Amino acid sequence: MSRWRIGAVTVTRVVELEMAGGTRFILPQAEPETVLPIGWLRPHFVDESGRLRMAIQALVVETPTRRIIVDTCLGNDKQDRGVPRWNNLQGPFLADLAAAGYPRQSIDTVLCTHLHVDHVGWNTMLEGGRWVPTFPRARYLMGRVEFEYWRTQREHDHHHPVFADSIAPVFEAGLVDLVETDHRVADEITLAPTLGHTPGHVSVRIASEGEEALITGDFVHHPCQIARPDWSSSADTDPDEARHTRERGRGELCDKPVLVIGTHFAGATAGHIVRDGDAYRLAV
């Protein structure tokens, strides 16, 4: 478990899965021969043979008044996922979350940076053959644009298991608040639009007692994209806009005292973007 402090706010990482390799489908340009020369990626983010290390993890943001889980991973018991290994998971995520100090009933806010399969899974859990909200006392915050995009996708393609098992049940339970991409969640917590990976994608800004952090969501999947923002993910709905967002974000964060916490970053998970001649890296 890793935990960071930003003023009066803590951010705690609860890992569901970590992997090395098998990620080429997500970042096709990040081959061993292209990532190994970027030496700072080792050992946290790339292994000795040049395979990408990535994590699927939730980040719990605790403020003096709120307990927020940012992104809810894959979830147990889900079926029909595009990646075979993601089907019918039986992982200890909820026990790990409780062990970190956050029993599911204590979460008051669920925040989805976007509505992809690996960010909404634990929105629901299987109980008596039905998908029920995992966090029954929480408001689930989803971007209005993002939600409408996926709802329309589902209307065009009725077979949309992720929407059906992980989004619709919490919406139908009346737990969803549709919010704008610059929504203020709490005094210390604000959304920031980082579009391109999906049409309504947001990152999460934390500011408290003069300290700052940013939870990326998937506008950067992997730290190699800090060096190479032109490497788009195969999951980016608009690769050009996604590249512009990464370039702009890198410029805004570079050499600033802002802790960048990567939603899929393995190893150290967080660091500062620094300029190194005409190159950029994540200093951990």
The residues that touch Zn ion, with contacts defined as CB under 5 A, are: 118, 218
Smaller CB distance to Zn ion: residue 16 or 188? 16
Task: List the one residue out of 277, 282, 221 whose CA is nearest residue 250.
Answer: 282
DSSP string computed for the chain: -EEEEETTEEEEEEEEEEEES--TTT-TT--HHHHTTSGGGTTTTB-TTSPBEEEEEEEEEE-SS-EEEE--BS-SS--S-SSGGGTT----HHHHHHHTT--GGG--EEE-SS--HHHHGGGEEEETTEEEESSTT-EEEEEHHHHHHHHHHHHH-S--HHIIIIIHHHHHTT-EEEE-TT-EEETTEEEEE--SSSTT-EEEEEEETTEEEEE-TTSSSSTHHHH-TT---TT-SSHHHHHHHHHHHHHHHTTSSEEEE-TTB-TT-EEEEEEETTEEEEE-
**DSSP bridge partners of 13:** 2, 59
Nearest distance from C-beta of residue 82 to Zn ion, angstroms: 13
Nearest distance from C-beta of residue 116 to Zn ion, angstroms: 5
Nearest distance from C-beta of residue 22 to Zn ion, angstroms: 14
Nearest distance from C-beta of residue 16 to Zn ion, angstroms: 11
Smaller CB distance to Zn ion: residue 62 or 218? 218
Nearest distance from C-beta of residue 56 to Zn ion, angstroms: 7
Nearest distance from C-beta of residue 127 to Zn ion, angstroms: 26
Measured over the CA atoms of residue 92, residue 259, residue 202 and residue 192, the dihedral's sign is positive
Nearest distance from C-beta of residue 76 to Zn ion, angstroms: 18
Smaller CB distance to Zn ion: residue 62 or 118? 118
